[in-house]
């Protein structure tokens, strides 16, 4: 792949744009991972590390003689070291504590890769899906144990240096000099700062406590405790939930909460509230949650569901500088909606159980009896602010103090990022792991492994490149897809060897599942459909060719909305139209229709431009296309769309040949929505063109009662012996007179153009003869109508 395409899909220009997010021009080769970003999660830091190292590689800035220092052995530091090691770069990790991932070790806090993206698609997916050092939703302690073991097992050369606090980083002509503890300066070509963000700020006698503390958030020592949480970021809201809910477990409570209301209703309500607040320019989300979210919580009984889960002996005060529990961008939306719902449940028990305070907390003073007094804040709405048994301060870490040893370099980088926000606003968004970066590092690490891992990983990459995963997204309730190819392109384009893997039971997907089976079947084997063995029986009721696949290949592809059942049906209709067009093109060239036999050249010549007109009108009107093709394919009383099988193409294209040829004699014959069981318009009437073989289980040739039809003209490529019985007389090809029973309204036998020996012979005659025969058939119908009307006088 050349520079124009970049390395694995990342161009040099892309890489340079990314590097500016991590490096200030004033300090080249000094990189910061997440230090100036707002939304920091463990997973996001890992993705940033991969993004940085990939960009350095694409720009050619990793040299054989590099020695890179990674300051910090947390999630970002280990991932950066692993990525450098996969590329063969000499790397050392300088960790101030005595172990890797020391903040997460022992912590029972929830570690989740994407939950902070809720209610976006994929926010509740458990797997991080990283090329290495991957993990799934679990406690921070469990994740740290697994990741530490995984890092140690990587086939890379990396020097881990615990108990190595960095105290200075200085530029010395052509290199960086890093001072560790009391040691001498050490030379490095590049330095990556992944040192975290420091300890939480304390306030008076309310001591700072690490969010990841092994003991979890503090618990009050007394019953009927009055607790203050100051701060409405993710840490503050999580601590509020911990104190409010009995036996709180972040993972299980989140799952229970999201199952207490329909996912789609809740996620859409939060989106509406956010949009309304943004449009109004409001920072405070509360009035918009009251308008959009609370009705959903009430409708699904969420408040009543939460009440038994509340601590019965605690009251909470949450302090926010502006007096609002939830503000735009202050915390993850899932934490905000859970905190909002819990506040409503507590208030329903008693107004004093949950209160809001406003103002800047200046200090916390000790009072008699071990209680604490908050200074600088007051209750929203007024009233006396009593002393507290427990005060938790979540005002965030002091990043500048934590990185003071950089002697102004961190502040310079902050200024650089502030300026960058005007030219690269995407830099402020959470990072997204691209397929290009995932594949690049998976291949790089795989190539360092012993056999058979490289071959196995190559097979997995090949599978991943041709696989589309379909699942019901738990965060939103919508059907989502993810893969290197979209479902729409897989069905619509001439791509082969693709697999659609659908996760979940067929009934879960409703009409979408039915449409999906039709869509894959319509590709004539270009695309296969698989599902886990446990769901196979249900899917095979929709299509017997569905195959088993235990699990899809892992990959980084972000989920996107799959087409709806209606959109998928429209896509299938377009595909059928294309297949019929191809069949007609072959017919124009060969002069022979497989269903109808030879057609005279003068007829074929006039049919082609007529087909172009029809095709254009059908393509421009999906609803009309659906109606026309629906009757072309099937005439059952309970209509159902084309099942995707291509076995029917000969008879459907044969019906189109008859329909087009008939329109040459009757130019008013056009595809149309007629309001009747017909798909062609006629002057003052309607016609039906179809290749259906039966109606309600009866062969077309047996449907000889005119009352079974709702069209004035039938054009049927599967009718060979059909003849109508009406009023005691037999109506054959051209029709004869009859005597209907007086006083009993009956439908007149329609004009009939069919696949009989006589009509096939007429197609072999010149155009003028064909036109005369079709018009004669139509006129015979008019004669029958007139006779019937006279008989009723």
Question: For residue range 198-225, what is the model confidence (pLDDT) as tens digits?
Answer: 777 889 998 777 788 877 778 888 889 9
| Block mean pLDDT (10 aa), the chain, length 793 | 49 95 96 88 96 97 97 97 98 96 90 88 90 93 96 97 97 96 97 87 82 79 92 93 91 88 93 96 97 97 96 94 94 95 96 95 93 96 93 86 92 95 91 92 94 87 91 91 93 91 95 95 94 97 95 85 95 95 95 95 96 96 95 89 92 97 96 93 92 94 92 96 68 38 63 96 97 96 86 62
> How do residues 543-599 score in pLDDT, each as one tens digit?
999 999 998 877 888 899 999 999 999 999 999 999 999 999 999 999 999 999 999
Q: Phi and psi of 379, rounded to 5°? A: -65, 140
Per-residue confidence (pLDDT) for residue 8, from 0 to 100: 54
CA distance 564 to 169: 55
Cα–Cα distance list, 764 to 14, 411, 470, 774 (Å): 63, 87, 50, 14
CB atoms within 10 A of CB 27: 20
CA distance 422 to 677: 60
Residue 93's contacts (CB-CB under 8 Å, 6 or more residues apart) are 70, 72, 73, 77, 78, 81, 100, 158, 159, 160, 161
Per-residue confidence (pLDDT) for residue 554, from 0 to 100: 77
DSSP three-state, residue 577: helix
Per-residue confidence (pLDDT) for residue 743, from 0 to 100: 42
Residue 656's contacts (CB-CB under 8 Å, 6 or more residues apart) are 580, 584, 611, 632, 689
Furthest C-alpha separation in the chain: 118
Of 686, 681, 685, 653, the residue nearest 667 (C-alpha): 681
Per-residue confidence (pLDDT) for residue 790, from 0 to 100: 77
CA distance 70 to 159: 10
CA distance 355 to 149: 45
Q: Do 607 and 664 form a contact (C-beta atoms < 8 A)?
A: yes
CA dihedral (210, 216, 220, 221) in degrees, to 10, reads -110
Residue 150 sits at the vertex; the CA angle it makes with 147 and 154, to the nearest 5 degrees, is 140
CA distance 46 to 34: 10
CA distance 282 to 275: 10
Per-residue confidence (pLDDT) for residue 787, from 0 to 100: 85
């Amino acid at each position: 792949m050349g520079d124009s395409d970049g390395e694995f899909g990342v161009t040099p220009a892309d890489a340079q744009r990314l590097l500016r997010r991590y490096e200030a021009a004033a300090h080249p080769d000094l990189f910061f991972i997440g230090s100036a970003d707002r939304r920091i999660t463990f997973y996001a830091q890992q993705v940033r590390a991969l993004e940085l190292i990939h960009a350095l590689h694409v720009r050619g800035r990793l040299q054989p003689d590099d020695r890179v220092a990674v300051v910090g052995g947390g999630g970002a530091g280990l991932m950066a070291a692993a990525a450098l090691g996969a590329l063969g770069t000499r790397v050392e990790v300088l960790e101030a504590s005595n172990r890797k991932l020391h903040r997460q070790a022992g912590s029972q806090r929830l570690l989740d890769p994407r939950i902070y993206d809720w209610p976006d698609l994929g926010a509740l997916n458990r797997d991080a899906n990283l090329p290495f050092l991957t993990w799934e939703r679990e406690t921070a302690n469990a994740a740290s144990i697994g990741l530490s073991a995984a890092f140690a097992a990587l086939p890379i050369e990396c020097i881990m240096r615990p108990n190595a606090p960095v105290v200075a980083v200085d530029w010395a002509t052509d290199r960086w000099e890093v001072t560790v503890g009391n040691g001498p300066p050490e030379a490095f070509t590049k330095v990556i700062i992944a040192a975290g963000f420091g300890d939480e700020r304390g306030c008076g006698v309310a001591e700072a406590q690490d969010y990841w503390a092994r003991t979890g958030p503090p618990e009050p020592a007394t019953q009927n405790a009055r607790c203050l949480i100051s701060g409405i970021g993710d840490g503050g809201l999580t601590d509020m939930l911990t104190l409010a809910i009995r036996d709180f477990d972040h993972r299980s409570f989140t799952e229970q909460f999201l199952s207490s209301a329909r996912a789609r209703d809740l996620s859409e309500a939060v989106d509406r509230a956010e949009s309304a607040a943004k449009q109004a320019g409001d920072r405070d989300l509360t009035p918009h949650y009251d308008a959009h979210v609370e009705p959903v919580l009430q409708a699904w009984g969420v408040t009543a569901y939460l009440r038994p889960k509340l601590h019965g002996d605690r009251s909470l005060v949450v302090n926010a500088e502006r007096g609002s529990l939830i503000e735009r961008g202050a915390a993850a939306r899932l934490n905000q909606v859970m905190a909002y719902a819990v506040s409503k449940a507590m208030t329903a028990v008693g107004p004093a159980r949950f209160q809001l305070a406003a103002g800047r907390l200046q200090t916390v003073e000790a009072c008699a009896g071990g209680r604490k007094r908050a200074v600088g804040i007051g209750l929203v709405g007024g009233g006396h602010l009593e002393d507290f048994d427990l005060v938790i301060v979540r005002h965030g870490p002091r990043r500048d103090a934590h990185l003071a040893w950089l002697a102004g370099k961190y502040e310079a980088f902050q200024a650089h990022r502030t300026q960058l926000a005007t030219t690269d606003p995407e830099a402020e968004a959470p990072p997204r792991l691209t397929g290009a970066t995932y594949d690049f590092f998976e291949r790089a690490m795989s190539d360092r492994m012993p056999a058979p891992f490289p071959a196995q990983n190559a097979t997995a990459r090949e599978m991943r490149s041709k696989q589309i995963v379909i699942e019901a997204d738990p965060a939103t309730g919508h059907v989502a897809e993810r893969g290197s190819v979209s479902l729409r392109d897989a069905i619509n384009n001439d791509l082969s060897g693709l697999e659609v893997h659908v996760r979940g039971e067929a009934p879960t997907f409703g009409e979408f599942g039915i449409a999906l089976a039709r869509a894959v079947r319509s590709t004539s084997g270009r695309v296969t459909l698989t599902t886990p063995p446990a769901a196979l029986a249900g899917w095979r009721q929709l299509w017997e060719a569905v195959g088993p696949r235990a699990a899809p290949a892992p990959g980084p592809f972000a989920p996107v909305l799959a087409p709806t059942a209606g959109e998928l049906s429209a896509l299938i209709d377009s595909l059928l139209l294309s297949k019929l067009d191809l069949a007609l093109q072959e017919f124009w060239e060969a002069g022979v229709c497989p269903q109808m036999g030879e057609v005279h050249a003068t007829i074929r010549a006039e049919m082609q431009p007529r087909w172009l007109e029809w095709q254009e009108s059908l393509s421009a009107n999906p609803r009309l296309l659906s109606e026309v093709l629906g009757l072309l394919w099937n005439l059952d009383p309970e209509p159902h769309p084309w099942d995707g099988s291509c076995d029917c193409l000969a008879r459907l294209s044969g019906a189109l040949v008859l329909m087009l040829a008939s329109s040459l004699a009757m130019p008013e014959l056009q595809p149309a929505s007629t309001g009747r069981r017909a798909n062609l318009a006629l002057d003052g009437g309607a016609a039906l063109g179809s290749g259906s073989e039966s109606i309600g289980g009866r062969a077309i040739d047996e449907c000889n009662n005119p009352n079974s039809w709702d069209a004035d003209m039938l054009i049927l490529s599967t009718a060979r012996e059909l003849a109508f019985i009406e009023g005691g007389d037999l109506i054959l090809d051209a029709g004869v007179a009859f005597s209907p029973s007086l006083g009993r309204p009956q439908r007149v036998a329609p004009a009939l153009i069919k696949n009989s020996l006589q009509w096939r012979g007429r197609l072999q005659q010149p155009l003028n003869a064909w036109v005369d025969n079709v018009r004669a058939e139509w006129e015979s119908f008019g004669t029958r109508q007139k006779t019937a009307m006279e008989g009723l006088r």
